[in-house]
Structure 1
Amino acid sequence: MENEDQLNNNNEQGLGLTMGSHAAWNQPVEYDLDDLLGAEDHHVDTSSHKSDDDEDRRPDRGTPPSKRTKRFSAHQVQELEAKFQVCTHPDPRARQELGRKVGLEECQVRFWFQNRRSSMKLKACGNEIRDMQQENTKLRAENVELKQLIQNPTCFRCRDPSGADQLASEKRRLLSENARLKDELLRAKAYQDSNTREAERPDQSMPLTYNCRTNKAALVSHAERALKEFVMLATKGQPMWMPTIDGEVLSVQEYDFHTFPGLLGLCPRGFIVEATRETDMIKGDAVDLVSILTDVAQWSEMFPDIVAYVRSTDVIASSSTSSSRDGLIQLMDVEFWVQSPRLPSRNVKFLRFSKMIAERKWAVVDVSVDGNNGDEKEISGTSCAGYRLLPSGCLIENLSGGFCKVTWVVHGEYLEATVPELFRQFFRSGQAYGACRWLRSLQRQCEYMAVLGSSHVPSSSSSSGAAISPLGKRGVLELALRMKETFYAAVSGPVTMASTNVVDQWCVSSGTGAERVDAAVRMVTWNCAEIMPREPAITVLSATTTVRLPGTPPQRVFEYICNLQRRGEWDKFVNGVLVEEVSYVPTSARLHGNSVSILRPTVVADGSHGRNSNVLILQHSSTDASGSLVVYSLVEEKVMRGIMGGADNSIFLMPSGFAILPDGHGCKARCTAARSCSSAPIGHSNGEGALLTVASLGMLPSSPSGGVAARSFDDAGEQLCNTIRKIRDAVGANSVIMS
């Protein structure tokens, strides 16, 4: 093989081919058989080729021309080519037979096959090199183009010089679109899974739509289904309820997994879903609490800050015995309120089902039957139908030691468009009508009633304190309850309770420059006899407003208002000096500040000094996690001392005071926004703030012409603004946001 390679190289040199020359391979290679075959004669020199060992040797280039290989005939070449197509490497015997056939020696045949093989290799190599050179030229052109693009960045698609910015913007758009599509995919999967599970249920029922023709059997079935769903919400932990820093949040997917499409159907358009759960210990018996919750009068008295009034009630199904509440189903039409003149009340028609589900364990369940399947009903006055109560209520379990464990669940849907912007985070946080507010109100009222029924009389904290009898203590507490109810009616009630009321809204201000405070004050004139039975028929002016103090905790505002040393800074009845406590009755053993107090101003507005003043202040203050309240009223000292001694307490009071609620910005929103049809964004937390409602009541004087004195409205509005400005400065609030 080494001899053959040498011969091939010699042939290449003889043909004048240079492998390193690029130019020679740029053109198609054509081979001349005349050059390959030699001179045209028939003399063949075989003297130097005697054996097979010399197969790879080529005749010496120095051989005389007369002895060089002669040219073959066309017939010989044709036969050789035919054999080459069959076999490119014939053995010696085949070469000899072929030589005899065409008239050539075996060595001539061998040389011809060697040259033919070499020509094929040269042609294949030339084609490969040409292809490589073409590829190399293409790569060099692309390299030059890429270098130009690096030096001058442009968009690869449109060659726009600003393509870099466009690509970045396009990337952000695609990422946003990808996130949106992923969210839609998850929602679609959840919806599909819910539909699949619902289709597999054998007892699937349609949502109830209540009207006057709805039979009792349908209502009973509705209540029983609500009980099952409520027990699930009240007893299940994770993954139904997911823990957070601020409490628990209902898992929408897990809830839908068990209830889809739900008792009331899908969430109506524009509605927000709120779900809260709270558990605490209450002093009392489960049966007694169930009796209170199922008795309309006692229930209204137990939650005066939430239940405005009950429109109607009807018994759908009674219990097996007259004394038992087990199995009682009531149809109730109720209006709820929050202590602010700016918030509409909630009117709800619902079923209340009380059931003993186990030994020493009761469930009281509420569920709407108003038939609101998503239509936004017309809103009139402060009452709106934009609320649906999903299965909610309380689970009560008797424990040892005279206590019971109460788990409260509130699950509802409300139309966010009915809530003013200032209060939307308050509602979204679940603090407006959530489980915390219901449970704390129950706890606070149970403690108050326990003190009211107790014969224990606390000693006075002041050396000049007046003695109070056990009967007098009860009279003072009952008077404080009526004073608080009058305050609630003044803040939220008169607009919807009587058609003869006159309602105006005055925009007033106090101070100048940075000290200026603006407020929208609602002015209502109403007749006491129309609002509160057994009260005198006198005309009262109620001035109320609500503002927000961002970044100011409600407890700080409450502590400042209850500080007797600083009361003169904001109370118009106290001329800037101290107020002393004559007597007090604590209404909670757990929470400091919950009490009914009798206060004496050392200097009053009319300028009289000393302790001979004939005016005292009855004040009811309470605070817990759901909010705080401070209500007070002036009472003649002679009358007040008579009540403390056990005399009749049926006197008329015109209270003023404050309702202090959290603004909802200090905790995580409890609404399940994933199921909300509203596009309103959830506000971000910027620190806990306070919603401060200020109310002032006074007898309205008449003008000489018989009309209402316009100056009374200005004075009442200015008084409220002055009070808000002084509280703002004292508690360090940065601003006051008007509702």
Structure 2
Amino acid sequence: MEMLVVLGHLQDLLLVRLKNHKPLFENLKRSVDMFQPNMMEGHLHPLDMTQNTSESDIARIGARDDDFDSATKSGSENHEGASGDDQDPRPKKKRYHRHTQHQIQEMEAFFKECPHPDDKQRKELSRELGLEPLQVKFWFQNKRTQMKTQHERHENTQLRTENDKLRADNMRYREALSNASCPNCGGPTAIGEMSFDEHHLRLENSRLREEIDRISAIAAKYVGKPVVNYPLLSPPVPSRPLELGVGNFGGHQAGMGGEMYGAGDLLRSINAPSDADKPMIIELAVAAMEELIRMAQMGDPLWMTSLDGTTSVLNEDEYIRTFPRGIGPKPTGFKCEASRETAVVIMNHINLVEILMDVGQWSTVFSGIVSRAMTLEVLSTGVAGNYNGALQVMTAEFQVPSPLVPTRESYYVRYCKQHADGTWAVVDVSLDNLRPSPAVRCRRRPSGCLIQEMPNGYSKVTWVEHVEVDDRGVHDLYKQVVNCGNAFGAKRWVATLDRQCERLASAMATNIPTGDVGVITNQEGRKSMLKLAERMVISFCAGVSASTTHTWTTLSGTGAEDVRVMTRKSVDDPGRPPGIVLSAATSFWLPVPPKRVFDFLRDENSRSEWDILSNGGAVQEMAHIANGRDTGNCVSLLRVNSANSSQSNMLILQESCTDSTASFVIYAPVDIVAMNVVLNGGDPDYVALLPSGFAILPDGTSSHGGGGGIGETGSGGSLLTVAFQILVDSVPTAKLSLGSVATVNQLIACTVERIKASLSCDNA
């Protein structure tokens, strides 16, 4: 302690007498500061905050200014026994103040709300805490310094990691390219022969070299390492638009999140790409992006107008001339399906990009098209805090809501990029050529969309779908609708996106619109009911298609060849009743326009004509949520007043939705008590649902030779899929009886006959 006192007197004496001898002053002060922290029981000098200072260290810091001049000016406030005796030249010993735990907690809490308090706020704090205003000021200064130091240390670590990754990637790409061989002669090959011609490659390499130099310079600024100029290829996420583009690839992102499914055997069998594959994947993605942009923007002769003037048709010969390289020639027996569609949707471009790049959101929005998907590996998350440059390897299964159309599996990479004009693009390209398999039945050439920002939160979306597929498994009933693009084409993707954007806008409404009626009285209840209906729709779509990857088991020998019956055991799932569930689905043709079928099935007044379970009881709409421009897009809560007392006051949750390519009427019985919880804003995830319903597609024919659509009431017929999910035994370990299967078959057959009788006869 004697040494401590001496050091205190020495420093204060130097402040007074050596202020004008700055060099000597600085040297002496540094010597004292180096020694002082170890001698003063852990008290750090305010200027030593760049060291590893903890929050408890800040609490102990004495109330001194970090500026030497202000330290001497305010010295009287830091002296013990300070008095008005100005004649005493000998400075007093400094006092180091320890803040109490209460003072620290109060200042910590205030710091979270306001890191930079003004004079008035500091005075109020000092009065409340029994501190001097300068003590409060110094505490906040030190706290801000500590937070800044921690933030910079975290940023340095991230930049150092990224810089090391860039170097490793670059060296790996260089080695892969240097070991390349000519596929014709087996000898060494020029880089340009791999994918680009020599001129294009040189331009691309020049741009990529500039890009990695720029990133290295940024990293060196923080990490403190010299900038290294890396030759050849760039990191996997270029940040500027390509000047040139060559290639021939494609695909769509998919991702089924959440409530329904474990990974199926087929999709799970595909592993993440190896390190050796990644350079080729990056090259495919970059070329696919350029091809997508050109495919979206080019006109004749690449795209020709159909005979009815409503759609664009790809000129395959011109396509091969324009994009001579890519994932290889079309496999034998495969058919090309290519389409392009443009629409303006009510969602801003940033939210659209987020939906496309987030596997859970994307799967939910397109649940009627995507039956299963997962992200195998994220090669890049993007730069600058957004999805610009994001690169994901994915696998997905695409569906039509019918057991008569096989699903399409695809293994692909998804690449997102922001271009110079503010346009965002998301492209998919098939990776099946990396692991050739005889089981592949669908290849995606560059497919995806361009998103352009428009005023008032709208976006213009141009969608391109381009696949090569073996469609021999498609039933004759659905061949026309598949061929015209209403099943898997760009028109269906865009129509679904447009309708879902309206639904999302409705769900985010801050007040209850005038179109909503019934028992919904608050915004929380409205949101919960929409969320429950969304889960119901996803569950329905997953139990309808001829998927190979879901947890359903298809039964054979069920006694009805035209009905697909599946079973699943439900255990410990709060969103589904426990026990054995049967799902039965069938599809058939009706000589009735799709809009008429849709209006008939969604109308509560005509429900008794086809709904056997309602036993002819009157149906009353108790709640109605409009979620789209079309009056058919809504969520309803129905009450069935059945003559059977055991079913009296049964509630039914129903969602109906329609666009130009497909319509759905989906419903599920719900428990009254559980529904009351939802209407009061409770969590809808614990409401058990077994959805049933209908999927309606135009049959692909019309009087003027086009594809036909839902809104065209005077043309074509309808393809109707009827599906039921029924709990046949509440004990999951019970054995499935043939009687249960026969009952479900009879239920679906009777429903089909009632619908045909109600619609076909009076339309004849």
TM-score calculated relative to the size of structure 1: 0.62
Q: Deviations over 1:372-401 (max 9, x none)?
A: 89x8824xxxxxx20010111000000112
Question: CA 1:350–1:691 in structure 2 vs 1: closer, same or farther (change >3 Å)?
Answer: same
- The aligned residue for residue 595 of structure 2 is 555
Q: Which amino acid aligns with 1:569?
A: E
Are the counterparts in 2 of residues 372 and 388 from structure 1 also a CA contact under 8 Å? no
- The aligned residue for residue 525 of structure 1 is 567
Q: 1:252 offset after TM fit, Å? A: 2.1
Q: 1:461 offset after TM fit, Å? A: 7.4
Q: How many residues align?
A: 494
- The aligned residue for residue 280 of structure 2 is 218
Which residues of 2 match residues 4-83 of structure 1 at below 5 A?
none
Q: Which of 492, 504, 521 is 2:556 aligned to?
A: 504
Alpha-carbon distance between aligned partners in 1 of 2:546 and 2:317, rounded to the nearest angstrom: 39
Which residues of 2 match residues 20-169 of structure 1 at below 5 A?
none
- The aligned residue for residue 654 of structure 1 is 690
Are the counterparts in 2 of residues 507 and 520 from structure 1 also a CA contact under 8 Å? no
Question: CA 1:556–1:270 in structure 2 vs 1: closer, same or farther (change >3 Å)?
Answer: same
Alpha-carbon distance between aligned partners in 1 of 2:547 and 2:669, rounded to the nearest angstrom: 22
- The aligned residue for residue 372 of structure 2 is 309
Q: Deviations over 1:185-205 (max 9, x none)?
A: xxxxxxxxxxxxx99996698
Are the counterparts in 1 of residues 584 and 744 from structure 2 also a CA contact under 8 Å? yes
Q: 1:669 offset after TM fit, Å? A: 7.8
Q: 1:689 offset after TM fit, Å? A: 2.3
Are the counterparts in 2 of residues 475 and 646 from structure 1 also a CA contact under 8 Å? yes
Alpha-carbon distance between aligned partners in 2 of 1:632 and 1:523, rounded to the nearest angstrom: 19
SS in 2 for 1:437: helix
Q: 1:555 offset after TM fit, Å? A: 1.3
Question: CA 1:648–1:369 in structure 2 vs 1: closer, same or farther (change >3 Å)?
Answer: closer
Question: What runs of 5+ residues in structure 1 fail to find an aligned partner?
Answer: 1-197, 379-384, 509-518, 671-685
* Match status 1:479 vs 2:532: yes
TM-score calculated relative to the size of structure 2: 0.60
Aligned-residue CA RMSD in angstroms?
3.3
- The aligned residue for residue 726 of structure 2 is 698
- The aligned residue for residue 501 of structure 2 is 446
Q: Which amino acid aligns with 2:501?
A: C
Q: Which of 663, 667, 671 is 1:636 aligned to?
A: 671
Are the counterparts in 1 of residues 604 and 620 from structure 2 also a CA contact under 8 Å? yes
* Match status 1:295 vs 2:340: no
Alpha-carbon distance between aligned partners in 2 of 1:719 and 1:558, rounded to the nearest angstrom: 21
Question: CA 1:567–1:200 in structure 2 vs 1: closer, same or farther (change >3 Å)?
Answer: same
Are the counterparts in 1 of residues 640 and 649 from structure 2 also a CA contact under 8 Å? no
- The aligned residue for residue 542 of structure 1 is 583
Q: 1:240 offset after TM fit, Å? A: 2.1
Q: Which amino acid aligns with 2:311?
A: G
- The aligned residue for residue 711 of structure 1 is 739
Are the counterparts in 1 of residues 580 and 734 from structure 2 also a CA contact under 8 Å? no
Q: 1:567 offset after TM fit, Å? A: 1.0
- The aligned residue for residue 438 of structure 2 is 377
Question: CA 1:534–1:559 in structure 2 vs 1: closer, same or farther (change >3 Å)?
Answer: closer
Q: Which of 635, 646, 659 is 1:624 aligned to?
A: 659
- The aligned residue for residue 341 of structure 1 is 403
* Match status 1:395 vs 2:447: no
Are the counterparts in 2 of residues 547 and 693 from structure 1 also a CA contact under 8 Å? yes
Are the counterparts in 2 of residues 350 and 366 from structure 1 also a CA contact under 8 Å? yes
Q: Which of 506, 523, 531 is 1:470 aligned to?
A: 523
Which residues of 2 match residues 323-342 of structure 1 at below 5 A?
323-342=385-404
Alpha-carbon distance between aligned partners in 1 of 2:295 and 2:719, rounded to the nearest angstrom: 30
SS in 2 for 1:270: coil
Question: What runs of 5+ residues in structure 2 fail to find an aligned partner?
Answer: 1-194, 202-245, 251-271, 708-713
Are the counterparts in 1 of residues 608 and 616 from structure 2 also a CA contact under 8 Å? yes
Deviates more, 1:727-736 or 1:420-429: 727-736
Question: CA 1:356–1:505 in structure 2 vs 1: closer, same or farther (change >3 Å)?
Answer: farther
Alpha-carbon distance between aligned partners in 2 of 1:283 and 1:219, rounded to the nearest angstrom: 33
Q: 1:292 offset after TM fit, Å? A: 1.7
Q: Deviations over 1:385-435 (max 9, x none)?
A: 200101110000001121110011101110022323332222111122111
- The aligned residue for residue 272 of structure 1 is 335
Q: Which amino acid aligns with 1:254?
A: E
Q: Which amino acid aligns with 1:657?
A: G
SS in 2 for 1:568: helix
Q: 1:581 offset after TM fit, Å? A: 1.2
Q: 1:280 offset after TM fit, Å? A: 0.7
Which residues of 2 match residues 178-327 of structure 1 at below 5 A?
212=274, 214-244=276-306, 245=308, 246-260=310-324, 262-321=325-384, 323-327=385-389
Question: CA 1:206–1:592 in structure 2 vs 1: closer, same or farther (change >3 Å)?
Answer: closer
SS in 2 for 1:418: coil
Q: 1:318 offset after TM fit, Å? A: 4.6
Q: Deviations over 1:329-374 (max 9, x none)?
A: 211111222212232221111111111122321111111111189x
Q: Deviations over 1:48-69 (max 9, x none)?
A: xxxxxxxxxxxxxxxxxxxxxx
Are the counterparts in 2 of residues 436 and 626 from structure 1 also a CA contact under 8 Å? yes
Alpha-carbon distance between aligned partners in 2 of 1:403 and 1:460, rounded to the nearest angstrom: 23
Q: Which amino acid aligns with 1:555?
A: K
Q: 1:254 offset after TM fit, Å? A: 2.4
Question: CA 1:377–1:457 in structure 2 vs 1: closer, same or farther (change >3 Å)?
Answer: same
Are the counterparts in 2 of residues 337 and 346 from structure 1 also a CA contact under 8 Å? yes
* Match status 1:587 vs 2:627: yes
- The aligned residue for residue 110 of structure 1 is none
SS in 2 for 1:416: coil
Are the counterparts in 2 of residues 425 and 669 from structure 1 also a CA contact under 8 Å? no
Question: CA 1:733–1:362 in structure 2 vs 1: closer, same or farther (change >3 Å)?
Answer: farther
Q: Percent identity?
A: 34
Q: Which amino acid aligns with 2:326?
A: L
Alpha-carbon distance between aligned partners in 2 of 1:428 and 1:372, rounded to the nearest angstrom: 28
Alpha-carbon distance between aligned partners in 1 of 2:334 and 2:618, rounded to the nearest angstrom: 50
Which is bigger in relative contact order (C-alpha 8 A, separation at least 6)? 1
SS in 1 for 2:300: coil
Q: 1:502 offset after TM fit, Å? A: 5.5
SS in 2 for 1:711: helix
Alpha-carbon distance between aligned partners in 2 of 1:521 and 1:662, rounded to the nearest angstrom: 21
- The aligned residue for residue 753 of structure 2 is 725
Are the counterparts in 2 of residues 272 and 416 from structure 1 also a CA contact under 8 Å? yes
Q: Which amino acid aligns with 1:285?
A: N
Alpha-carbon distance between aligned partners in 1 of 2:437 and 2:405, rounded to the nearest angstrom: 18
Q: Deviations over 1:247-269 (max 9, x none)?
A: 11112232222112x41222111
Q: Which amino acid aligns with 1:473?
A: R
Are the counterparts in 2 of residues 505 and 520 from structure 1 also a CA contact under 8 Å? no
Are the counterparts in 1 of residues 515 and 626 from structure 2 also a CA contact under 8 Å? no
Which residues of 2 match residues 351-430 of structure 1 at below 5 A?
351-371=413-433, 377-378=438-439, 385-430=440-485
